[in-house]
Amino acid sequence: MADLITRDMPIAEVVQKYPQTVPVFLAHGLMCFGCAIARFENIEQGAAAHGIEVDALMADLNKAASESVAQEEEKGQ
């Protein structure tokens, strides 16, 4: 399965589409999802600005999003 979340996606879009990613952002030290710049700044930019390892963040974000999508699909069956 292709990644649901890519590093070029705006942070606010990710949080809106996949609210279960909020704890992931927090765990990695990226608190700016609630800030006005999050509408324009993508994940890679935010991670770089805060010294966060983007590959690890992306892996955790996609894990959280994929688990949520799988749960929703199970409910729909």
Task: Please check whether residue 65 lies inside any domain of the structure.
Answer: yes
As beta bridge partners, residue 10 has 42
Please list the pLDDT of the chain residue by residue as tens digits (77 residues): 578 999 999 999 999 999 999 999 999 999 877 777 878 899 999 999 999 999 999 999 999 999 877 776 677 76
pLDDT at 40: 85
In a domain, 21, yes or no: yes
How confident is the model at residue 70, as a pLDDT? 72
Domain, as residue range, for 31? 11-76
Within a domain: 4: no
**For the domain that residue 23 is a member of, what is the CATH number?**
1.10.3910.10
Domains: count for the chain:
1
51 — alpha (psi -120 to 50), left (phi > 0) or beta?
left
Query: Residue 25: inside a domain, yes or no?
Result: yes
5 part of a folded domain:
no
